[in-house]
Structure 1
Amino acid sequence: MQAQADNQAAKVSGTPPDLTNIISGDYYQKNGYPHAEWTYLRRHQPVAHIEHPRTDPFWAVTKAADIMEISKQPRLWLNGPRLAVFLLEEGEEALPPEALPLKHLLNMDPPEHGEYRAILSRYFTPRSVRALEPEVSNITTQVLDDVMDRAECDFVTEISSKVPVAVIAEMLGVPRADWPRLFRWTNEIIGGGDPEFQRGENPTDTFAQARMEVFEYFSNLVAERQKHPGNDVTSIVANAKINGAPLPMLELLSYLLVLVVAGNETTRNATTGGLLALIEHPDQFRRLKREPGIIKSAVEEIVRWTSPVIQFSRTASQDTMIRGQKIRAGEAVCLFYPSANRDEDVFEEPFKFDIVRNPNPHLAFGIGEHFCLGSNLARLELEVVFRELGRRLERVELAGAVERLRSSFVGGIKHMPIRYKLNPGH
């Protein structure tokens, strides 16, 4: 459980742990986040050179200040060359250059990134997102009504996965009958390294198959929206122009793919991890129930605590220095956001889950050029879900083992059986 990892981190000694755990999907699946390793790195090697036989070398960056410095210099630190650090499976070959990922919001650099981001930026402002609250509340109510009379459920498959995929599907104009397909595709794209979601010979095959099916699905939807535009996000992207020209089809489809995956996976895992934190800290759940007005600060602490996006990479465009360490042009750094969100130089008692923490300058949504476009939507979804859970539940506990995703990119929980008792009147 994550509480165990946090306790280990709080007691970490000067003896170096196995630092390759920070990029091992097997480790994350068995143990949760490697907080002991990150704590060691923050204290002893905040910019550490990591080598592993199944990936290219990289510099692990674990301090919040350094991650902020890198993220605010997008021309010095490029997104394009390497999105994140992934380990190849035994016997799996690296993709040839011609098969590398297509351009999309996550791997674009300025000025192109800003032009593409602007297509939808006004639809994700706080005001625009707040207008979605009735729809998010309606979806959440329906999802909870379906399971709350049973006393037990798998929180992931029956609650936390259903709300965000329904919200993003509604925004995209995807028919309700196709929502389960979106959910399956996002699992395969993010969790292709996990045997439960793998359907190719290896993660690369799984990703390629899922991406092909997403592209095929949305190419049909895009064609229809180009002929008959509506008010949904697919219509906006399908008819957008950059410098007077329509988006190339593959980039348009990649844009929608990122929206589907980012709009589902991260919020789902913050929701699941947030409830797990409240179960492990029942005093905090009782306080949230007593004081529903603290929901916004509770959501910020849940996001800090869970940090569902584990890491992204940047590549140096020229020789430079980070914390006195020379990084040569072409070398990659890997930014570990959960480590930044436990940084002792930023947070008082960083291993304490405190739903009224103030200030709470976490980096769970990133910072700088690539700050999460959907952060306001994620916050709204989390607010609505946890407000409703606090209103309905008298108590909640685990009813079985928590099963984690085999991934060092997104900190996912695949299954979390819970047992609960409703408040009188629910």
Structure 2
Amino acid sequence: MNTQPEIGLLADPNTFEHGVPHDQIAALRAESPVVWQPMEGEPGFWAVLTHADVVKVSRAANLFSASEGGVVLENLDAASLEMMRMMLLAMDPPMHNEYRRPLSEPFKGKIIAGLEPRIAEISRELMADVAGRDSVEFVHEVTSGLPTKVMGRLMGLPEADWDLLHSLAERQTSGSDPEIVGDEPDYSASIEMAMYAIEFAARRRSEPPREDLTTLILDGEFGGQPMSDVDFGSFFVQIVTAGNDTT
């Protein structure tokens, strides 16, 4: 008799071995648009499978919390959960709004508007690097480098450091992926990135302000407090990693 607990379709990595099984997910959505997914070694999670419900969940912070249990599938110990709650991604309103507000309008108005030509230039450079080759691993060799370079430009980071930060961001989001970090899980990337950012912040404070995201962060108030170099380190990890993972 098999006593192993059933693993949910969306919790089983084997589900995605040959790509996204759209037909299976569509059938699950039709049967149970909100469905519990048991995990191996963890209690599990609720999967919300319709667009309308996802929108509802994302906007109803009074009912669905990012802070209460964090934003990972695993159950965290108290200390790890408290650390996660310092991340923008794991904050609920009103704290989330207080941390986003200093960046929102200036970020959109001053910086993003003039960035399109540079993004196009970076894209052409990435394509030129692989032009003429018979075989290209397009995700890792072309597209994965674009977000970090764009974030580097947004934050005024030295171009010589962009490849390092790209490597750290990949390690941060793929800490247990053997294709990225080898046979042993690697969870040190966030510490290395934060240390880089703390040194970078200290250096930038001694220089004239620039029209970039770093100046906006260092000169802003978050939760009613100025941004310290240590806080900037944590904030930097979130911004660069999120930009690399989603842009």
TM-score of Structure 1 vs Structure 2, range by shorter chain: 0.7 to 0.9
Deviations 1:19-44 (A, max 9, x none): 6231233433x122242342122111
Task: Give the aligned partner of residue 168 of structure 1.
Answer: 151
Query: Are 1:130 and 2:130 counterparts?
Result: no
Query: Are 1:212 and 2:191 counterparts?
Result: yes
Tell me the distance in 1 between the aligned counterparts of 2:110 and 2:229.
Answer: 30
Tell me the distance in 1 between the aligned counterparts of 2:126 and 2:160.
Answer: 16
Shift in alpha-carbon separation, 1:235–1:126, aligned structure 2, 3 A: closer
Q: How many residues align?
A: 239
Query: Are 1:43 and 2:30 counterparts?
Result: yes
State the AA in 2 paired with 1:78: S
Task: Give the aligned partner of residue 182 of structure 1.
Answer: 165
Contact 1:83 1:107 in 2 (8 A): yes
Tell me the distance in 2 between the aligned counterparts of 1:95 and 1:199.
Answer: 25
Higher strand content, 1 or 2: 1
Shift of 1:143: 1.8
Query: Are 1:111 and 2:91 counterparts?
Result: no
Shift in alpha-carbon separation, 1:119–1:164, aligned structure 2, 3 A: same
SS at match of 1:55: coil
Task: Give the aligned partner of residue 222 of structure 2.
Answer: 242
Contact 1:21 1:34 in 2 (8 A): no
Task: Give the aligned partner of residue 3 of structure 2.
Answer: none
SS at match of 1:193: coil
Q: Which of 250, 258, 283 is the equivalent residue of 2:238? A: 258
Task: Give the aligned partner of residue 13 of structure 2.
Answer: 25
Contact 1:55 1:85 in 2 (8 A): no
Shift in alpha-carbon separation, 1:247–1:177, aligned structure 2, 3 A: same
Shift of 1:123: 4.3
Higher helix content, 1 or 2: 2
Tell me the distance in 2 between the aligned counterparts of 1:189 and 1:139.
Answer: 23
Contact 1:104 1:251 in 2 (8 A): no
Tell me the distance in 1 between the aligned counterparts of 2:118 and 2:175.
Answer: 31
Tell me the distance in 2 between the aligned counterparts of 1:217 and 1:26.
Answer: 36
Shift of 1:182: 1.1
Shift of 1:214: 0.6
Query: Are 1:81 and 2:62 counterparts?
Result: no
Tell me the distance in 1 between the aligned counterparts of 2:224 and 2:38.
Answer: 45
Shift of 1:122: 2.0
Shift of 1:215: 0.6
Structure 1 residue runs of 5 or longer lacking an equivalent are 1-17, 88-93, 268-426
Contact 1:218 1:253 in 2 (8 A): yes
Shift in alpha-carbon separation, 1:126–1:241, aligned structure 2, 3 A: closer
* Aligned counterparts, 1:55-70, within 5 A: 55-70=42-57
Contact 1:23 1:86 in 2 (8 A): no
Shift in alpha-carbon separation, 1:66–1:222, aligned structure 2, 3 A: same
Contact 1:164 1:264 in 2 (8 A): yes
Shift of 1:57: 3.2
State the AA in 2 paired with 1:217: Y
State the AA in 2 paired with 1:235: T
Contact 1:22 1:37 in 2 (8 A): no
Task: Give the aligned partner of residue 200 of structure 2.
Answer: 221
Shift in alpha-carbon separation, 1:43–1:34, aligned structure 2, 3 A: same
Tell me the distance in 2 between the aligned counterparts of 1:244 and 1:116.
Answer: 9
Query: Are 1:99 and 2:80 counterparts?
Result: yes
Contact 2:197 2:232 in 1 (8 A): no
Tell me the distance in 1 between the aligned counterparts of 2:65 and 2:245.
Answer: 24
Shift of 1:68: 1.6
Tell me the distance in 2 between the aligned counterparts of 1:107 and 1:200.
Answer: 29
Deviations 1:63-104 (A, max 9, x none): 1222122212112211112344436xxxxxx65321334312
* Greater relative contact order (CA < 8 Å, ≥ 6 in sequence): 1
Deviations 1:121-151 (A, max 9, x none): 1244378523211111211122222222334
Tell me the distance in 1 between the aligned counterparts of 2:58 and 2:93.
Answer: 12
CA RMSD, Structure 1 to Structure 2 (Å): 2.5
TM-score, structure 2 as length reference: 0.85
State the AA in 1 paired with 2:133: R
State the AA in 2 paired with 1:239: D
SS at match of 1:48: strand
